[in-house]
Amino acid sequence: MSKILVGIVMGSDSDLEVMKKAGQILDKFEIGYKMDIISAHRTPDIAHEYAVNAEGSGLEVIIAGAGGAAHLAGVVASLTPLPVIGVPMHTQSLGGIDSLLSIAQMPSGVPVATMAIGKAGAKNAAILAAQILAVRFPDIRERVSAYKKEIAGEVMEKNKKLQHERCSAKVS
Amino acid sequence: MSKILVGIVMGSDSDLEVMKKAGQILDKFEIGYKMDIISAHRTPDIAHEYAVNAEGSGLEVIIAGAGGAAHLAGVVASLTPLPVIGVPMHTQSLGGIDSLLSIAQMPSGVPVATMAIGKAGAKNAAILAAQILAVRFPDIRERVSAYKKEIAGEVMEKNKKLQHERCSAKVS
Amino acid sequence: MSKILVGIVMGSDSDLEVMKKAGQILDKFEIGYKMDIISAHRTPDIAHEYAVNAEGSGLEVIIAGAGGAAHLAGVVASLTPLPVIGVPMHTQSLGGIDSLLSIAQMPSGVPVATMAIGKAGAKNAAILAAQILAVRFPDIRERVSAYKKEIAGEVMEKNKKLQHERCSAKVS
Amino acid sequence: MSKILVGIVMGSDSDLEVMKKAGQILDKFEIGYKMDIISAHRTPDIAHEYAVNAEGSGLEVIIAGAGGAAHLAGVVASLTPLPVIGVPMHTQSLGGIDSLLSIAQMPSGVPVATMAIGKAGAKNAAILAAQILAVRFPDIRERVSAYKKEIAGEVMEKNKKLQHERCSAKVS
Amino acid sequence: MSKILVGIVMGSDSDLEVMKKAGQILDKFEIGYKMDIISAHRTPDIAHEYAVNAEGSGLEVIIAGAGGAAHLAGVVASLTPLPVIGVPMHTQSLGGIDSLLSIAQMPSGVPVATMAIGKAGAKNAAILAAQILAVRFPDIRERVSAYKKEIAGEVMEKNKKLQHERCSAKVS
Amino acid sequence: MSKILVGIVMGSDSDLEVMKKAGQILDKFEIGYKMDIISAHRTPDIAHEYAVNAEGSGLEVIIAGAGGAAHLAGVVASLTPLPVIGVPMHTQSLGGIDSLLSIAQMPSGVPVATMAIGKAGAKNAAILAAQILAVRFPDIRERVSAYKKEIAGEVMEKNKKLQHERCSAKVS
Amino acid sequence: MSKILVGIVMGSDSDLEVMKKAGQILDKFEIGYKMDIISAHRTPDIAHEYAVNAEGSGLEVIIAGAGGAAHLAGVVASLTPLPVIGVPMHTQSLGGIDSLLSIAQMPSGVPVATMAIGKAGAKNAAILAAQILAVRFPDIRERVSAYKKEIAGEVMEKNKKLQHERCSAKVS
Amino acid sequence: MSKILVGIVMGSDSDLEVMKKAGQILDKFEIGYKMDIISAHRTPDIAHEYAVNAEGSGLEVIIAGAGGAAHLAGVVASLTPLPVIGVPMHTQSLGGIDSLLSIAQMPSGVPVATMAIGKAGAKNAAILAAQILAVRFPDIRERVSAYKKEIAGEVMEKNKKLQHERCSAKVS
């Protein structure tokens, strides 16, 4: 079993469906992680404790997903020297532009590495976590490079399929 | 000297020019207040302490001004049962829509009473604080009512002046 | 039966589904309230009368929900010294950013305590109303504090469940 | 002296510079008007009285300019059967998109004829007022038609000047 | 059969569902109208001809509905001295903010009376048309005033029903 | 003197400063062009005539700059089979997002090749016009390719200068 | 079989449904094209190769569809002197405003002819491609002119049908 | 002299003023870096080469600043397994929301760690780079922790100064 290097936190259990995508990518990269539901606003003390203890507990990167006035990533980033990645959730009324701005527009001094809104952002958070860990673990960089080739291959495969379909359509 | 009932906090000294407007209104209403620069992101422990101690120290209302990924009001609101009023700061790039959404779009469970962006919002935060205190202190409600009459009078005065100018212009 | 301290008004019966959430929270806090459909634009005289009489009829806080060019909260706030809380409704075309700006961007002199768009905003309006009343009624503050613990507990429970599921998944 | 057919109202004396543009166009069309500073939020009773009495006092069209949570036009429109034209003011933080949405997004039943943000909107409000009055007064329609030709002529004159400059530049 | 005073045009047959709401209101006010599908971009010559002939054919007001880069109202307004009312259509991608800005932000000289996005806007366009015609036809103003009372009555009825339900709920 | 292949039109003389940038690029490419101020809204008949005659007069591409409810490019595109390029002007209140949406969101059937807001857009309109003409005139394609090398060279030169400055700064 | 003059590329197979609309229009205009799935971000080398070889392989115009941080059109445009048309995809969270800005706001020197978001944009990309090719191939311009008449006819037909329905409704 | 671990690239020399802020923070952290002006659109081959060679040349993190249709960070991220941090530049027309969306809304597979718009973003990019490098270099983590204390101290100092001023003001 791999050491837990990444902490995934999310503000609500309604974010789980999206944030699981991050977990799946980390599984693929064989990077150990833990996953918690911690609300910056409803469980502030737990969020505080989580962030303060993150470094000591061996985490190297934190991924935080939240929506609306999405403060979780910023709250965690304010309390740890670890790199923090923020995933803005889609919101029903404003589509997630509120989440995106609440995460990206951090003041000077406390960065949050902001991802795209929703599932693409959750996946990319895990890939970025891998890229960060790869600064120290060369085998993770190899997996990242292999993954880039894999997704390139998928696009190429889809293009091949498209050409085949169009070719068949013309012949018939 | 009046008892300190309102705490004004702001995330940066660059917010001071705007937040002083809140202080001036409270002075006018003879409501005691204190004013602090506390950053949710750069001094998270002080923000935490401030919010946790607010009720015990005799505060009844908190006004928090912040800009960009403006988490200060939400962070304070998460840690106190007191009513928290948020003032979104104007921002150079996005005009303050980032601040407004970061403050207004709070999740269910932790309200922040959001005001308009900038100086009008800071003034209104103080008036709302007075309206809240007026639930308990009848003399403050009288001052609020008097203030409403006063600003009505100012508008009427300006209209009278406009009529006079237009009248003079026609005659001459 | 508890004294009616909060007035909930909404601009249209289509807002009822959302605004009922405010009522449920007030019920939970055992705070008496009344609920009315009053349109700032279609029944302006009733809105006027409602606002002018609010203080005299014993109300201490008003919650107003409206959508689009959402003037109801502002109209009421212009006519009463009571604190007014505005709930922006989700709108089909613009998601509610129109409602939010129409409520939040009030001019200096007439604050409206603006909440998040939609149901979260309606719930939070009731919690804020309770926080405001708690300035005068200590037992309400206790209920607010208890409520904050309750929602923290719910988040913690969900996290516990998540850990359990993930643990089970690994074992099996 | 021409009969007063148009009422121009604005929410603040800071709107005067912009709203004067409407007056200048009405002067040009020889349409009588009056101009008042009346705040929907700070002088709600005067706004109410103004709107209720508008029809009886002989006004046929009302032009209302306001900014931010711009309720003035809607408040007036709710209380009169007369056509109401709204001019959204430019705002420092959001450029006037708040004013525009607060005026344009009126609910079904109470229209406000919304113009462009700022001075172009103020001028156009007066032209629209003239077009509305022209339904009854044929000579005003003639002036509107003449005005359209006049502004066409101005554009043509500017184009002629441009051609001349470019021609001269090539020759020299 | 009443004389045709209002021309309703729309850019596409997909706008018909929305624009019919304008027709229904005009029917209610017993105001004669005609309704045409004319695209500013796909049938520019017909749009040109329509606008140029509008005044001569006895029309007094034109209502134009269009979506996206919504030029129809502006194109018509550029070619007629009649008052033109624009109805921005909801759009799938941007919700209609594109339509709204394309109609509202007209340059100085050529006003379009912009309504809310979608069905509320279409209804209001017809009410505004009635208010405009009422400048000349006193009986239409009476119908407008009656209509305002009618919609006020509907809101009051809904409020009565709400009170009854809540009362019954408490008793049972 | 080169044959006139490109028509540059703009809605107002206030757009001239920006649209001249397009002319300068065409001069550089030695492509003949004419430049006119024609308002879709104030001189609709001239705009109509211009567009209808464009093809017959030998033009191959039209560049149209306009701001706000920017209909000029769309109006021209509706009346000519030639490719039309639209340049959205910066606007004081909304920064040009209104112009951009009014030009880009054209309905199916009538494309406008939309550029960036402001001067970059005006320059790029001219480059695109050259790229379009290059489909027929091989020497223009050579000039386009040369231009691409030239601007690459400028960036490289700036980078070289930066390296030199940083190097000097370290040595001294 | 016609020579391949247009290259359609798209960033993902999920864009195929939309981009096929461009192909259908080119089929109608009897313009040869090829269609490829190439991701600027996942297959950057293929995108690079595609763009560099486009001119040599006989393409005259490239249509690129992409969503979100939509870089494909810009990447291609940076590497070819051919005209590049960009089609912004609708996105789930932000409706496609992200795609539109990522494509339209190109820096000076590298234009992308930006179309409307979604299917209308894809269709228009193909029409614009035809308009561009028509600069060289007179028969394509004839087809473009015929197409404009065809779509005008469709609108006129729909209007005729509407008149017939309304007429029948009145009679019955 | 410290080894070069961070590459700062920017799309234009006009970004230099902002991106220098990143350099100053790296200097403070004693992290070696190089700084280049490379345009994704004007020097695509150099951007390609830079990104492909980044890993081999010993870089561990890349910071890319760009504005408008800001593709530089995405282009680089598509070609390297290294973590890439994007800094959205403020833009004159849209304030930088275009830059922010063009950088943040990356598709699944190719993350860019997006920062705030402008100088705060540039500073934070450097801090995040330090946090990333700290995964491998423990002394950098110590410097990050020390820096967090330093900026906390600055806020506390400013608050102390504010208290002193207010105290003096009351006494005098």
Q: What is the pLDDT of residue E169?
A: 82
Distance CA A19, CA A36 (A): 10
* Chain F contact for G83 (CB, 8 A cutoff): yes
The whole-number average pLDDT for the span D90-112 is: 98
Could you say which of E118, E159, E163 has the minimum Cβ distance to residue C93? E118
CB contact under 8 A, F107 and E77: no
CA E5 and chain centroid, separation: 14
* Chain H contact for B35 (CB, 8 A cutoff): yes
Which residue of A158, A165, A167, A170 is the best one to mutate when testing the G interface, meaning the one whose CB has the most G CBs within 10 A? A158
* Chain E contact for G158 (CB, 8 A cutoff): yes
DSSP letters, H75-107, are: HHHHT-SS-EEEEEPP-TTTTTHHHHHHHH-PP
Distance CA C130, CA C143 (A): 9
Indicate left, alpha or beta for E16 from its phi (over 0: left) and psi (-120 to 50: alpha). alpha
CB contact under 8 A, E78 and F42: yes
CB contact under 8 A, G136 and F136: yes
CB contact under 8 A, A144 and H81: yes
Q: Quick check: H100 and H117 in contact, CB under 8 A?
A: yes
The pair of structure tokens assigned to H104 is 């943040």
Instruction: For chains G and B, tell me whether 3 or more CB atom pairs sit within 8 A of each other.
Output: no
Q: Which of H105, F116, H67 is nearest to G104 (CA)?
A: F116
Residue D151: which residues within 8 A CB-CB, separation 6 or more? E109, F42
Distance CA A118, CA A105 (A): 18
Q: Quick check: E88 and E112 in contact, CB under 8 A?
A: no
Could you say which of B12, B35, B43 has the minimum Cβ distance to residue H166? B35
> H140-167: string of b/e by CB count within 10 Å (b at 16+)?
bbebbeebbeebbeebbebbeebeeeee
Tens digits of pLDDT across chain H (172 residues): 589 999 999 999 999 999 999 999 999 999 999 999 999 999 999 999 999 999 999 999 999 999 999 999 999 999 999 999 999 999 999 999 999 999 999 999 999 999 999 999 999 999 999 999 999 999 999 999 999 999 999 999 999 999 999 988 877 6
Distance CA D55, CA D80 (A): 7
CB contact under 8 A, E41 and F104: no
Q: Indicate the pLDDT class of residue E2, thresholds 50, 70 and 90.
A: confident
The whole-number average pLDDT for the span B87-106 is: 98
CB contact under 8 A, C37 and E154: no
Give pLDDT tens digits for B9-19. Answer: 999 999 999 99
Residues 119-138 of F with CB under 8 A from H: 120
Which residue of E37, E71, E98, E117 is the best one to mutate when testing the G interface, meaning the one whose CB has the most G CBs within 10 A? E37
Beta strands per DSSP E along chain G: 4-10, 32-37, 61-66, 84-88, 113-114
CB contact under 8 A, C61 and B109: no
The pair of structure tokens assigned to A83 is 């790199």
* Chain B contact for H118 (CB, 8 A cutoff): yes
Indicate left, alpha or beta for H58 from its phi (over 0: left) and psi (-120 to 50: alpha). left
The amino acid sitting at F69 is A
Instruction: For chains C and H, tell me whether 3 or more CB atom pairs sit within 8 A of each other.
Output: no
Q: What is the pLDDT of residue A1?
A: 57
Give pLDDT tens digits for G115-168. Answer: 999 999 999 999 999 999 999 999 999 999 999 999 999 999 999 999 999 988
Chain F CA closest to residue E112:
F69
The SS3 call for residue H56 is coil
Which residue of G10, G45, G78, G117 is the best one to mutate when testing the H interface, meaning the one whose CB has the most H CBs within 10 A? G78
Distance from CA of G134 to the nearest CA of H (A): 28
The pair of structure tokens assigned to C48 is 């006027």
Give, for F7, the enclosing helix (H) or strand (E): strand F4-10
Q: Quick check: B58 and B4 in contact, CB under 8 A?
A: yes
CA D40 and chain centroid, separation: 18
CB contact under 8 A, E68 and G166: no
Distance from CA of H23 to the nearest CA of B (A): 21
**Phi, psi (rounded to 5 degrees) for D66:** -160, 160
What is the pTM for the complete model shown?
0.97
Q: Quick check: A42 and B78 in contact, CB under 8 A?
A: yes
User: Burial, G104: exposed, middle or buried (Cβ in 10 Å; 0-12, 13-18, 19+)?
Assistant: buried
Distance CA D110, CA E125 (A): 10
Distance CA C113, CA E45 (A): 52
Interface A-G, measured as beta-carbon pairs within 8 A, has a size of 46
Which residue of A90, A155, A170, A171 is the best one to mutate when testing the G interface, meaning the one whose CB has the most G CBs within 10 A? A155
* Chain C contact for A42 (CB, 8 A cutoff): yes
Give pLDDT tens digits for E85-127. Answer: 999 999 999 999 999 999 999 999 999 999 999 999 999 999 9
Q: Which of D103, G111, D38 is nearest to E121 (CA)?
A: D103
Residue F153: which residues within 8 A CB-CB, separation 6 or more? none
Give pLDDT tens digits for D7-62. Answer: 999 999 999 999 999 999 999 999 999 999 999 999 999 999 999 999 999 999 99
Q: Indicate the pLDDT class of residue F23, thresholds 50, 70 and 90.
A: very high
Mean pLDDT of chain D: 96
Distance CA C8, CA C15 (A): 11
Q: Quick check: B64 and B21 in contact, CB under 8 A?
A: no
Distance from CA of G163 to the nearest CA of F (A): 23
Distance CA D148, CA E81 (A): 8
Q: Quick check: G19 and G65 in contact, CB under 8 A?
A: yes
Q: What is the pLDDT of residue C1?
A: 57
- Contacting residues of F for D151, CB less than 8 Å apart: 42
DSSP character for G66? E
Chain G CA closest to residue F84:
G128
- Contacting residues of F for D156, CB less than 8 Å apart: 43, 46
Higher pLDDT, F49 or A168: F49
CB contact under 8 A, E155 and C38: yes
Tokens 């015609």 found at: E133
Flag whether pLDDT at F1 surpasses 80: no
Could you say which of D120, D152, D162 has the minimum Cβ distance to residue F43? D152
Q: Quick check: D140 and D31 in contact, CB under 8 A?
A: yes
Flag whether pLDDT at E23 surpasses 70: yes
Residue A162: which residues within 8 A CB-CB, separation 6 or more? G13, G16, G35, G36, G37
Beta strands per DSSP E along chain A: 4-10, 32-37, 61-66, 84-88, 113-114
Could you say which of E100, E120, E144 has the minimum Cβ distance to residue D108? E120
- Contacting residues of D for B90, CB less than 8 Å apart: 92-93
CB contact under 8 A, G102 and H107: no
State the sign of the Cα–Cα–Cα–Cα dihedral E52, E57, E58, E63: negative
Give pLDDT tens digits for E42-85. Answer: 999 999 999 999 999 999 999 999 999 999 999 999 999 999 99
Rg, C-alpha atoms of chain B? 18
Flag whether pLDDT at D151 surpasses 90: yes
* Chain F contact for D90 (CB, 8 A cutoff): yes
Q: What is the pLDDT of residue A170?
A: 75
- Quickly count: other Cβ atoms within 10 Å of residue C3's Cβ: 8
Strand partners, G86: G64, G114
Instruction: For chains A and G, tell me whether 3 or more CB atom pairs sit within 8 A of each other.
Output: yes
Flag whether pLDDT at E1 surpasses 60: no
Chain E CA closest to residue C37:
E159
Distance from CA of C27 to the nearest CA of A (A): 21
Q: What is the pLDDT of residue A118?
A: 98
